[in-house]
Amino acid sequence: MRDQIRIFTGTGNPALAKAICDHLKIPVSKADISRFSNENIFVQVRENVRERDVFVVQPLSSPVSENLLELLIMLDALRSASARRITAVIPYYSYARSDKKDMPRISIAGRLIADLLVTAGANRILTMTLHSEQVQGFFRCQADHLAATPILCDYFGSLDLKNCVALAGDAGSARRAGPYATRLNIPLAFVDKRRVSDEKVEIRAIVGEVEGKTILYFDDEIARATSLLKTVELLRDFGVGDIYVGVTHGIFTGDAIERIEDSPIRQVVVTDTVPMPPRKRCDKVVQLSVAPLFAEAIRRIHTGESVSEIFE
Amino acid sequence: MRDQIRIFTGTGNPALAKAICDHLKIPVSKADISRFSNENIFVQVRENVRERDVFVVQPLSSPVSENLLELLIMLDALRSASARRITAVIPYYSYARSDKKDMPRISIAGRLIADLLVTAGANRILTMTLHSEQVQGFFRCQADHLAATPILCDYFGSLDLKNCVALAGDAGSARRAGPYATRLNIPLAFVDKRRVSDEKVEIRAIVGEVEGKTILYFDDEIARATSLLKTVELLRDFGVGDIYVGVTHGIFTGDAIERIEDSPIRQVVVTDTVPMPPRKRCDKVVQLSVAPLFAEAIRRIHTGESVSEIFE
Amino acid sequence: MRDQIRIFTGTGNPALAKAICDHLKIPVSKADISRFSNENIFVQVRENVRERDVFVVQPLSSPVSENLLELLIMLDALRSASARRITAVIPYYSYARSDKKDMPRISIAGRLIADLLVTAGANRILTMTLHSEQVQGFFRCQADHLAATPILCDYFGSLDLKNCVALAGDAGSARRAGPYATRLNIPLAFVDKRRVSDEKVEIRAIVGEVEGKTILYFDDEIARATSLLKTVELLRDFGVGDIYVGVTHGIFTGDAIERIEDSPIRQVVVTDTVPMPPRKRCDKVVQLSVAPLFAEAIRRIHTGESVSEIFE
Amino acid sequence: MRDQIRIFTGTGNPALAKAICDHLKIPVSKADISRFSNENIFVQVRENVRERDVFVVQPLSSPVSENLLELLIMLDALRSASARRITAVIPYYSYARSDKKDMPRISIAGRLIADLLVTAGANRILTMTLHSEQVQGFFRCQADHLAATPILCDYFGSLDLKNCVALAGDAGSARRAGPYATRLNIPLAFVDKRRVSDEKVEIRAIVGEVEGKTILYFDDEIARATSLLKTVELLRDFGVGDIYVGVTHGIFTGDAIERIEDSPIRQVVVTDTVPMPPRKRCDKVVQLSVAPLFAEAIRRIHTGESVSEIFE
Amino acid sequence: MRDQIRIFTGTGNPALAKAICDHLKIPVSKADISRFSNENIFVQVRENVRERDVFVVQPLSSPVSENLLELLIMLDALRSASARRITAVIPYYSYARSDKKDMPRISIAGRLIADLLVTAGANRILTMTLHSEQVQGFFRCQADHLAATPILCDYFGSLDLKNCVALAGDAGSARRAGPYATRLNIPLAFVDKRRVSDEKVEIRAIVGEVEGKTILYFDDEIARATSLLKTVELLRDFGVGDIYVGVTHGIFTGDAIERIEDSPIRQVVVTDTVPMPPRKRCDKVVQLSVAPLFAEAIRRIHTGESVSEIFE
Amino acid sequence: MRDQIRIFTGTGNPALAKAICDHLKIPVSKADISRFSNENIFVQVRENVRERDVFVVQPLSSPVSENLLELLIMLDALRSASARRITAVIPYYSYARSDKKDMPRISIAGRLIADLLVTAGANRILTMTLHSEQVQGFFRCQADHLAATPILCDYFGSLDLKNCVALAGDAGSARRAGPYATRLNIPLAFVDKRRVSDEKVEIRAIVGEVEGKTILYFDDEIARATSLLKTVELLRDFGVGDIYVGVTHGIFTGDAIERIEDSPIRQVVVTDTVPMPPRKRCDKVVQLSVAPLFAEAIRRIHTGESVSEIFE
């Protein structure tokens, strides 16, 4: 395997790429990435990749547009360097959130970005916890979709919490919280929100039993945490127990970390699909690594073993 | 408009095509559809369609495979007959239900069929109430997605029911019931189901308040009605009031009609996206027509007016 | 080879798939094929096919539309399961008969279906006795086209018939009867038919010597057998000897078998490209197996040996 | 129409292009075609064609490769000049003869050239008398296929010949002679030829009645006329009457004209799909013009009228 | 025209878009562009564009990646909103500088971005002063390429300078300076630079006569101005007269403006293809507007008039 | 390697193909290439190429259109014969000269031909000394671009010439002469030409020092040599020393050889990318072989080694 596999990283999450390579016991392959004075991105692959099985690790994390363009140009450079197969490893596919046309004359950008990746040279996609499962259908190339559910559930299982309920932030995300509830064998509840105008969303009720329960709030990502914190505020009136939050992608923009620290939330559990800079680290946030999972998936893609069996 | 627009129908729902044409005050255009002795489908367009703006009405209703193939061959015949633009009008897109890869090594057939339609010559798609909104992203061509929500809600509004709750069959369909709840301004509840094995799904609880309430059960389609009737059975233990059902696509396979008649359901409201043969008609089932909506959408597509404004 | 090759079958002709696998000494690979209550076809591949060389056996036999859709969905499922190469093995490609635009505004459906197969994921096609050789040009992917001529001629050779003439059903199929006449070294004749109206075809004459001869009538397929039986009737006036029929694809729709039994035809020789249900079996019909030929072609495609050499 | 339609010509048959334009009462549009010193073809369109409906007349006549390349480069120049729609008018599509894979490892070049035309920018094809009708299925774009049958039959009808038989050069071309026989209401016969080795074809017999008859030999094209003259030689032994030949494309390569003049053939009737240089003209060859037919087809394509109605 | 044309602008250069629209006497069409908290770009077109002829003005100016992504998403939104034709108006196409593979394993990003634009929905491109003319061949769609030469030359002509020479920064850009030299009818010179290592470029000589001459230095763009200022420094040893600089795209990154002000350069003339923020404005820099040129090109594209005639 | 690699040749330069194969110690693979009587090109591959790595050597040398068509048909035949990968080896890509749209309404034919090659089945391109480096961006498939610079420079180095200057025929080709000047470490000069009308180009001056120097004139190709000989004539007034010419592609059309012989040019050095027929050979022309370079590149493409390293 060492002879044929090559793993590159963009500047999006080099630590994760390094961790994946460490698990596979291979070095991260070399590529120069820089900007010309007119801001054009320049990529030069520094190793021969002819006939090699190549992977590029790059989440669509901040700065998203830069990271996406960088990925597209890396894919093209690798293709022109005659790589045999190129897999874009995108641990966080931010545009999965733009997955439907719920307003007139908008772009289903999750689909557009998927098409751009193929145009740029991606032969396969390897990603994790898409905002909705349907997004996998947006990829015109072969795609593998990993779930962080086992990692997060194992962690919560290890906490030995009692009397829990899985809470979803709205009706739409109830289906996302479902697999967690099933795996942890706990009941499900959700917040009934209504959009009352273009700007305003009203929380109408919490549907399901939460009183006196330990709340496990599940979602795919936390960015500004506005919606999460509104829900937490609401929960105060319901006499709930401890509040835990489990999400795959911990984006934490603006003052999200500060507001979480100031909130009654006990703990927020995220993974390292996006990098967490030191200034964002805090006692309430636990980061679990997805590197072993990605390493195993890459190994199986390369050797032709089943990827779905990882989750059996 | 009369000069340029041509509306054809497959054998899937000629009554709907006729109703749409009546609203537009144009005749249904002529095409011969037959089978050779080896079952090959044969289509001959019987009118000149060069440079015309052509629409083909064909739901993926029973027999689904036949109707789909017929549609594909009609699209190809129209393309080869030099139509300027061809819109596949698919009031019921059955394969929207195959919208994700929730088991290993399956086809996201909703995506595949979308690709087949484009391959066969569809320049646009006009459809209604897709199982999930993301499916619109599966279409590589331009697509318009109509909602039956206003039609169903207007009807339920006219019944002047009191103390209602919108009920979704499972967590995943909570987001489908949401727009109904919002428009009717009633609370939302859902059935918490868990898949316990490949064959078995267990109903765990009803999440939300239903006791003493008039139940409005919403979904995109009813086929065998198994899931609906299990939910209804469960509701008995909760002391609910009248039970109404509102779905866009009334497929009613097997003995669904008989079992609905024998159930405590008060009324099932569907539309005419799929034809309802006389033997399926019964007092409990009300069928509302979507023909005016499709006619208006076709008119706007043809003249270049906004389709989304229909719903404002 | 055992490690890398996988042969699946749709529901079109599992017996043939089994026979092919038996020749290759490998098991038929597992896949679940079922229908949802709304008639949507569901396929799950039950074995890991990553990086495997995969073949799917499915003739476009009755029910044609079902079998075609099933094949398309299997191809898509195999592609999404990361098969390295997928060959659609279509022993009977019914739509080859729709190979030209001999009426205005019709579909060249043989071309359309070829395009659909590629859209669904077919990397190669392996088929037999296309209605016309030009159909091979309809496939945008690589294709191998097997001939049943040697199998049928060897059989007729073994009968030791005397004073034969190869008869074609019309001028157009004279070129199909040609290779048989050449290989058996017998003269050629054809029926001169004229289309006198949309509905009516008139038999004008038999062109060539048939009096006192053993007739070998050759064609690519028999479905309702109308044309064949009219020709047989006509032959009565010409004082011919025994009448034999050799066709690759024995479709036998309607009461074809009964009418053949009641006719002066001595024997009809077909292959097993399409399954022959027990109720269609009769003493006059001989079925020869193409399984050894398909097995050998599959083996050569897999190992990179010449397929055309089979016929040298 | 004058404002929007533009008809260009390559160097293949400018006289035909001029005749077509004369029928439409428009001038031939201007384009410069030349060769650089390294033989690269250079084309400059000399008129604004933005948003125009453009036609390029160019048969694949001698020199075939030059004419084809010239056509491809003209199509690309017109596309880059922003023409709204470009129709390649190819009265003689020579590569239609390469329509099947009757030997291993050859190109179905009729299909390849069709693909090249689309790659170069052709939005439509307008052609005449393809070697086989299936070739129309090779075009990925819309195509119209004109027949010279009415023109040739009208001419033969005007000769008032008695006791005729339509003769095809081999079994394969029997289907090409068929429409002539039908339209003239005369019997059909064909020459039974057998390929006995790679180099040698043996004439085995004439199938059908020819004795004492006026022979009308029909085919799609005459090039070296070898096959035709061998058949004529054979006919001497059968005591036939006058021999007439009717073909759409009169290529006449080598000493074909001289050998025809020396033969017992009475008359050869061709059209002007390919140009006939003065040195090839002789008393036995009659050339009929297809310009009115192409002009009418172009007019109908432009205005959106039915082309097939020309032949009703 | 007012009815059918729609001009949108991204956030790249709204002032230019406004100026273009003012020339055409139409308003800039409305679109909302914003960022979600995870940095995803969101675009909503706020006007009906069905069947309209749509243009989007967006240079690839700073921030380049953001502006490019924004453009791609706008194109997709407009396509999904059923625009009839979408032209990406890209006054400054920064990636044209990545037009060749002069190092191993790099991307020809100018080609990649061209492909991404087509994937996102661009039907046409309208751009100006590409770094090399060959880049126009990178666009798979129709493209119009405007030149700023007349605007810059007219300006220099108005200055009434004497004894001028056109100077190119290196041998490669000599062909870019050529059209200026020709139009102004002045001699041409260039700087002979040699790359001596990966990091270091050595200026070897000035090829051509510059002593005592007014220098007109021409290039396509100025970013950090390093190369320009080195050349200027070198010119000091040659006893040249005034130094003028003429470039289409004035990017001015880093302290370019300050260093130009401190240099002996008399004047730098640029256009408004990229916006010049107030802090970059200085007495030495003159900005000419390309809005009239783009407005006229857009008008001609819309009405089907020749664009090349603008330059005759 | 012997087992898997297959090198075919068209009729363009069989001697070069043979020389390449000799270097690789493999035979040239067999294919029949002929013309039908209607000039259609016929190609039959005479060896099994299934799953093989196939290369076809064919420069676009005279007759260019014939050679190009021949190449396209060979590519298609090899694809249909199931080759695993097909590399078009085009030592001289004549249409690289048509690389920009410097006049309105012309084709960028270098781009068109690149697209045709991909349509016909080329998976890779291997070429040499493209007229401009940007042309590599025209290829939609992977491409390797070899330089003859080392071969020519080594030769000139071996001549031990003194006091040299590298001369480019015009400003545009200065960038082509640059790499030679750099490698030989000599100064650069160019001829300042101006197009004064459609027909007339005026030589205005020689920019750079040439007096008393040995002139090394570099370009990519010589065809009619008109421009070269005009430059040589001009040089007479400048008192230059010996004149040498180095070009990759020696086309020599018309009386180029005779005029070179009669000129003061000392020597013309070319390579064997295009064949030099005996009648063109003369004492002044030296031909160097590129076969070792192509052989090494083919070997590396096949084994997955870096091609760029050849030039390090």
| DSSP annotation string for B121-184 | T-SEEEEE--SSGGGGGG-SSEEEEE--HHHHHHHHHHHT--SEEEEESSGGGHHHHHHHHHHH
What is the distance between the alpha carbons of residues E131 and B14, in angstroms, rounded to a whole number?
Answer: 58
Residue B3 in this model has a pLDDT that exceeds 80: no
What is the distance between the alpha carbons of residues F95 and F97, in angstroms, rounded to a whole number?
Answer: 5
Tokens representing D183? 């339209």
Tokens representing D144? 């119209």
Chains sharing 3 or more CB pairs under 8 A with chain D: B, C, E, F
Chain E residues in contact with D82 by the CB 8 A cut-off are 124, 142, 301, 304
Residue E2 in this model has a pLDDT that exceeds 60: no
Mean pLDDT of the F191-203 span: 78
Interface touch A48/F306, C-beta < 8 Å:
yes
Cα of D130 to nearest chain B Cα, Å: 17
Nearest CB to C178 within list D171, D187, D205: D171
pLDDT at D194: 80
Question: Do residues B89 and B122 make contact, with C-beta atoms less than 8 angstroms apart?
Answer: no
Residue A196 in this model has a pLDDT that exceeds 80: no
Q: Per-residue pLDDT tens for F55-97?
A: 999 999 999 999 999 999 999 999 999 999 999 999 999 999 9
Cα of D138 to nearest chain E Cα, Å: 24
Give percent of chain C with pLDDT exceeding 90.
85
Cβ contacts below 8 Å, chain A against chain C, sum to: 19
Instruction: Please list the residues that pair with A203 across neighbouring strands.
Output: A193
Least confident span in C115-119, E61-65, E206-210: E206-210
Is C18 assigned a catalytic role? no
Amino acid identity of residue F244, one-letter, is: Y
What is the distance between the alpha carbons of residues A98 and B179, in angstroms, rounded to a whole number?
Answer: 19
Chains sharing 3 or more CB pairs under 8 A with chain A: B, C, E, F
Beta-carbon contacts of B124 under 8 Å, excluding residues fewer than 6 positions away, are B85, B86, B87, B88, B141, B142, B143, B144, B301, E82
Q: What per-residue string of b and e applies to F60-83 under the rule 16 or more CB within 10 Å gives b?
A: bbbbbbbbbbbbbbbbbbbbbbbb
Nearest CB to B305 within list E48, E80, E84: E48
Interface touch F65/D65, C-beta < 8 Å:
yes
Residue C15 in this model has a pLDDT that exceeds 70: yes
pTM of the model: 0.96
Q: List the alpha helices (DSSP H) in chain B.
A: 14-24, 64-80, 109-120, 149-159, 174-184, 226-235, 256-261, 291-303
Q: What angle do CA A286, A290, A292 make, to 5 degrees?
A: 130
Interface touch F178/E189, C-beta < 8 Å:
no
Question: Do residues A183 and A151 make contact, with C-beta atoms less than 8 angstroms apart?
Answer: no
Q: Please, what sign has the CA dihedral across residues D137, D142, D143, D144?
A: positive
- CATH of A5-147+291-311 among 3.40.50.2020, 3.40.50.2300, 3.10.20.30, 3.30.428.10: 3.40.50.2020
Interface touch D305/B50, C-beta < 8 Å:
yes
Instruction: Burial-class residue D77 by CB neighbours within 10 Å (0-12, 13-18, 19+).
Output: buried
Residue located via tokens 């027909």: F199
**3-state class (DSSP) for residue A89:** strand
Nearest chain A residue to C3 by CA distance is A304
Q: Per-residue pLDDT tens for B259-310?
A: 999 999 999 999 999 999 998 889 999 999 999 999 999 999 999 999 999 9
Interface touch E72/A108, C-beta < 8 Å:
no
Least confident span in A98-107, B229-238, D160-169, E101-110: B229-238
Beta-carbon contacts of F184 under 8 Å, excluding residues fewer than 6 positions away, are F153, F156, F157, F164, F166, F216
Q: Per-residue pLDDT tens for F145-175?
A: 999 999 999 999 999 999 999 999 887 788 8
Residue C2 in this model has a pLDDT that exceeds 80: no
Nearest to C170 by CA among C231, C107, C261: C231
What is the distance between the alpha carbons of residues B290 and B92, in angstroms, rounded to a whole number?
Answer: 11
Cβ contacts below 8 Å, chain D against chain E, sum to: 20
**3-state class (DSSP) for residue F248:** strand
Tokens representing A14? 């080099």
Chain E residues in contact with B300 by the CB 8 A cut-off are 50
DSSP string, E166-205: EEESSGGGHHHHHHHHHHHT--EEEEEEEE-SSS-EEEEE
Are E and C touching by the rule of 3+ CB pairs within 8 Å?
no
Interface touch D107/F73, C-beta < 8 Å:
yes
Chains sharing 3 or more CB pairs under 8 A with chain C: A, B, D, F
If one counts every other C-beta atom within 10 angstroms of the C-beta of residue F283, the result is 7
Q: What angle do CA F107, F108, F113 make, to 5 degrees?
A: 100
Across chain A, what does the average pLDDT equal? 94
Chain E residues in contact with A58 by the CB 8 A cut-off are none
Q: Per-residue pLDDT tens for C154-204?
A: 999 999 999 999 999 887 788 889 899 999 999 999 898 887 776 777 888
Q: Per-residue pLDDT tens for F239-268?
A: 999 999 999 999 999 999 999 999 999 999
Pairing of strands A214-222, A164-168: parallel
Amino acid identity of residue A159, one-letter, is: L
Residue A204 in this model has a pLDDT that exceeds 90: no
Any idea which architecture A149-288 has in CATH? 3-Layer(aba) Sandwich (3.40)
Cα of F44 to nearest chain E Cα, Å: 33
Question: Do residues C79 and C118 make contact, with C-beta atoms less than 8 angstroms apart?
Answer: no
Q: Interface of chain E against chain D, CB under 8 Å?
A: 124, 142-143, 300-301, 303-307, 309
Cα of B44 to nearest chain D Cα, Å: 13
What is the distance between the alpha carbons of residues F116 and F108, in angstroms, rounded to a whole number?
Answer: 13
pLDDT at A175: 85
Q: What is the CA radius of gyration of chain E?
A: 20
Nearest CB to F51 within list C143, C304, C309: C304
pLDDT at D157: 96
Residue A2 in this model has a pLDDT that exceeds 60: no
Q: Interface of chain C against chain F, CB under 8 Å?
A: 124, 142-143, 300-301, 304-307, 309
Tokens representing B275? 């034809």
What is the distance between the alpha carbons of residues A272 and A287, in angstroms, rounded to a whole number?
Answer: 6
What is the distance between the alpha carbons of residues A195 and A200, in angstroms, rounded to a whole number?
Answer: 6
Nearest CB to B101 within list A100, A108, A136: A136
Q: Which of F5, F6, F80 to probe the C interface (max C CBs under 10 A)? A: F80
Chain B residues in contact with C78 by the CB 8 A cut-off are 105
Nearest chain E residue to F143 by CA distance is E101
Q: What is the DSSP letter of A197?
A: S
Nearest to C263 by CA among C287, C232, C234, C288: C232
Nearest chain D residue to E136 by CA distance is D80
pLDDT at D173: 83
Q: Which of E100, E193, E230, E280 is catalytic?
A: E193
If one counts every other C-beta atom within 10 angstroms of the C-beta of residue E194, the result is 17
Q: Per-residue pLDDT tens for B77-117?
A: 999 999 999 999 999 999 999 999 999 999 999 999 999 99
Tokens representing F107? 């084709």
Give percent of chain A with pLDDT exceeding 70.
99
Interface touch E304/D50, C-beta < 8 Å:
yes
Least confident span in B206-215, D212-221, D266-275, F203-212: F203-212
Nearest to E207 by CA among E191, E188, E228: E191
Q: Per-residue pLDDT tens for E181-217?
A: 999 999 999 898 887 776 777 888 888 999 999 999 9
Nearest chain F residue to E179 by CA distance is F194
**So which residues of A are the catalytic ones?**
193
Neighbouring C-alpha atoms within 13 Å toward the C-beta of D52: 23
Beta-carbon contacts of D301 under 8 Å, excluding residues fewer than 6 positions away, are B50, B82, D87, D124, D126, D144, D307
Residue A230 in this model has a pLDDT that exceeds 70: yes
Tokens representing B111? 């995506």
Residue C1 in this model has a pLDDT that exceeds 70: no
Across chain C, what does the average pLDDT equal? 94
Q: Taking the domains of chain B in order of start, what are their residue ranges?
A: 5-147+291-311, 149-288
pLDDT tens for chain D, 312 residues long, are: 557 999 999 999 999 999 999 999 999 999 999 999 999 999 999 999 999 999 999 999 999 999 999 999 999 999 999 999 999 999 999 999 999 999 999 999 999 999 999 999 999 999 999 999 999 999 999 999 999 999 999 999 999 999 999 999 887 788 889 899 999 999 999 898 887 776 777 888 888 999 999 999 999 999 999 989 999 998 988 899 999 999 999 999 999 999 999 999 999 999 999 999 998 889 999 999 999 999 999 999 999 999 999 998
pLDDT at C28: 98
Tokens representing E63? 């921030």
Are A and C touching by the rule of 3+ CB pairs within 8 Å?
yes
Chain E residues in contact with A42 by the CB 8 A cut-off are 98, 106, 109
Instruction: Please list the residues that pair with F270 across neighbouring strands.
Output: F287
Nearest chain F residue to A79 by CA distance is F142
Give percent of chain E with pLDDT exceeding 90.
86
Chain A residues in contact with C50 by the CB 8 A cut-off are 300-301, 304-307
Q: Per-residue pLDDT tens for E92-102?
A: 999 999 999 99
Interface touch F82/C305, C-beta < 8 Å:
no
Q: Per-residue pLDDT tens for A133-187?
A: 999 999 999 999 999 999 999 999 999 999 999 999 887 788 889 899 999 999 9
Q: Which of B100, B101, B193, B200 is catalytic?
A: B193
Across chain E, what does the average pLDDT equal? 94
Mean pLDDT of the A302-312 span: 94
pLDDT at B1: 54
Nearest chain F residue to A4 by CA distance is F304
pLDDT at E56: 98
DSSP string, F90-108: ES--GGGG--S--STTB--
DSSP string, D158-206: HHT--SEEEEESSGGGHHHHHHHHHHHT--EEEEEEEE-SSS-EEEEEE
Nearest to A174 by CA among A163, A188, A187: A188
Mean pLDDT of the A75-90 span: 98
Q: Per-residue pLDDT tens for A279-292?
A: 888 999 999 999 99
Chain F residues in contact with C309 by the CB 8 A cut-off are 48
**3-state class (DSSP) for residue C247:** strand
Residue F113 in this model has a pLDDT that exceeds 60: yes
Chain A residues in contact with F303 by the CB 8 A cut-off are 51
Q: Which of C193, C200, C213, C280 is catalytic?
A: C193
**3-state class (DSSP) for residue E141:** coil
What is the distance between the alpha carbons of residues F136 and E110, in angstroms, rounded to a whole number?
Answer: 12
Q: Which of D25, D101, D193, D213 is catalytic?
A: D193
